[in-house]
Chains A and B, each alone.
Chain A
Amino acid sequence: MVKVALIGAGKMGISHLAILGAHPDVEVVGVCDTSKLVVGALQKYSPFPCFTDYKKMIKEARPDAVFVAVPTKFHYTFVKELLNENIHVFTEKPFCLSSDEGQELAELAESKNRINQVGYHNKFIGTFKEVKRLIENKSLGEIQHFVGEAYGPVVLKKKQDTWRSDPSEGGGCLMDYASHVIDLINDILAPVTVSQGALLKSLYSTNVDDAVYALLGLENNTTGVLSVNWSDETYRKMSTSITIMGTKGKIVSDANELKVYFKDKDCPEDYSKGWNVKYITDLTEQVDFYLRGEEYSAQIDYFVKAVLGKVPNTINTFRSAWHTDRAISIIKMNAKN
């Protein structure tokens, strides 16, 4: 049994909490939030001990692991304190506001040998996992170009401001939406090192970007395009996709459907020359408790198993999330100049 606590019961925090609450190897020992509305509801209707002061919660509940789902600007302080208390940490994305902070936390977690994971859930989606496998096996040959995209209907008109519309708190389309795509590119292809012609466009928001477009260069000299817009109402919900072209063929994948084209017969097992289509139904493993998508349960299960020493702590580590933070700051700098 792993004793887990949660700091921050917002949209992602509540979702994590429900999955943790149903996990057979987890005992939820505390939930902390500053919202009276949320804490009040949890106190009245859930079985979890509730707190409004996270330090008090850590002291009294003595968790083995903590989920941090507060605005990004608080990640550094909270996570550092938790690691210094020798607590394993799962934190929401994006990881930190500055690249220095992220690096420090990655080093601290590694030196203290604490399980560290960030909530880039796309890496637990079957289609994207298969894309990674195909690229790692060099099935596409030399990579010539990639396009990473995400679109969705988050900000569709001018509205009141929240922390998500405050750039100093980690809001905006680049931080919130594009980070997922950048993280996938980093993981599947190679870390982003260069950005050119970056455009951060405010379509409805006053303080933050609603769309991000950039040409990206990767550590291995691969180049491609990033195109992300969270003000696109032609999408019912967030849709993330990646297209990769190589000398041997092409991959087009989103969270539901993987399409792979091979130019000739020399291709991996289960694939053939021409178009191959695989669906998430073929590529996803059953989870014990389902909420919103298998990937949300799978990432938590992976973290819990890592704490129990059953899997290595290699997916979505602080270090990999730091690479994503670094790419975000590279794109920001490029857009500014």
Chain B
Amino acid sequence: MERILYGDNQFFAVNHISDSKSREQAIRFKNNDAIIRTLDYAIDAGITTFMCTTHDRIAQICDVIRANPEKYKDFKIYPCMPYAHKYANAMTELGIAGTIKQYVPGNLFGTMFKGGKAFISKDYVSIMELLIDAEMKMFKGVQTPVIFLQNVITDLLLGLGMVDLLKGFHDHVVKKYNAEAGFITMNMPKLLDTLEGVGITNPIICASINKADFRMSGGQALYEKTLKERKFRAIAMQVLGGGAIAPKEAIEYVCGLPNIESILFGASSKGNIENTVQNIHFFDGK
């Protein structure tokens, strides 16, 4: 994985501290041109990996990437699935079974043999594989060397103790997509223990890691200890602590931690993208 990964929250009005900022972003990135232009700024700044949710609009971004193979020949996407609010809103309205019926492709009890069979035999790993395949369709022809499970699902399965499904995600991604599996979490130490417990060694884990101790469940000290003593490939996200820490200070903290393979960040302007990249290079060089 590259040292710096570019995220997509700013494109889809995801802002952890302000609803009004999130609306500004929705207005700013209303058109896909605005997203592509900003992605190009990131590429100009030397970033070639875009880590994004499987939001409907990403399918349109993938169309642009496929249409310009020369320009994007080194460009990689790390898909993060699923786009959780799509399912959460559906569950409020349709319930759990209704949501699965809506999103598993094909007619569950009819034409899709695997789906129908899986549903009836309660082979949930197969149902999950179908859902993964449905989410992955939009990336056909685009390089996706690492595929992530979003934190809501990772942490839900973690809390429920459904470790076989975490393993099932890992194995399917490796086997079918010849990619590495990654896990996003807000509970990094606990997840690492669990993944190691099912035989996933040296896993890729993307977690909130920041100077402000924001969303680091179990506490900053435990996170630092885990980074120092355990073997896994860490990606630090939310390094600005939702905006609570000044950018330079935030990057200095993360660059000073051991064992952080990559830093994930999002920014909407050319200036902020360039500044963040410069800061990371500066503190990495120290």
Chain A interface (Cβ < 8 Å from any Cβ of B): 10-11, 14-15, 17-22, 35, 37-38, 40-42, 44-48, 152-155, 159-160, 162-164, 176, 234, 236-237, 239, 241, 254, 256-257, 279-282, 286-292
Cα A256 to Cα B14 in complex, Å, equals: 12
A-B contact count (CB 8 A): 140
Chain B interface (Cβ < 8 Å from any Cβ of A): 12-20, 22-23, 26, 85, 88-89, 91-98, 100, 122, 124, 152, 155-165, 186-187, 190, 212-219, 241-244
Chain B residue nearest to A45 (CB atoms) is: B162
**A residues within 8 A CB of B217?**
286-290
Q: Which of B26, B85, B124 contacts A44 (CB 8 A)?
A: B124
Cα A176 to Cα B89 in complex, Å, equals: 13
Q: A19-B159, A46-B160, A288-B218 are in contact. List 10 more A-B contacts (CB 8 A).
A: A154-B89, A162-B98, A164-B93, A234-B23, A236-B12, A237-B85, A237-B89, A256-B16, A281-B17, A281-B241
A-B contact pairs, 27 of them (CB 8 A): A10-B96, A11-B95, A18-B157, A18-B158, A22-B187, A22-B190, A35-B96, A35-B97, A37-B96, A46-B160, A47-B161, A154-B89, A159-B94, A160-B98, A241-B19, A256-B16, A257-B17, A257-B20, A279-B17, A281-B17, A282-B244, A286-B213, A286-B216, A286-B217, A289-B155, A289-B159, A290-B215
**A residues within 8 A CB of B158?**
18, 22
**A residues within 8 A CB of B17?**
256-257, 279-281
**A residues within 8 A CB of B213?**
286
**A residues within 8 A CB of B214?**
281
- A18-B160, A290-B155 are contacts. A159–B243 as well, Cβ < 8 Å? no
Asked if A291 and B93 make an inter-chain contact with CB atoms under 8 angstroms apart, the answer reads no
Cα A15 to Cα B156 in complex, Å, equals: 7
**B residues within 8 A CB of A291?**
152, 155-156, 159, 186
Cα A268 to Cα B129 in complex, Å, equals: 55
- A18-B159, A164-B93 are contacts. A254–B19 as well, Cβ < 8 Å? yes
For the complex formed, measure the closest distance between the CB of A150 and the CB atoms of chain B, giving whole angstroms.
Answer: 12
Chain B residue nearest to A43 (CB atoms) is: B122
**B residues within 8 A CB of A11?**
88, 91-92, 95-96
Cα A35 to Cα B92 in complex, Å, equals: 16
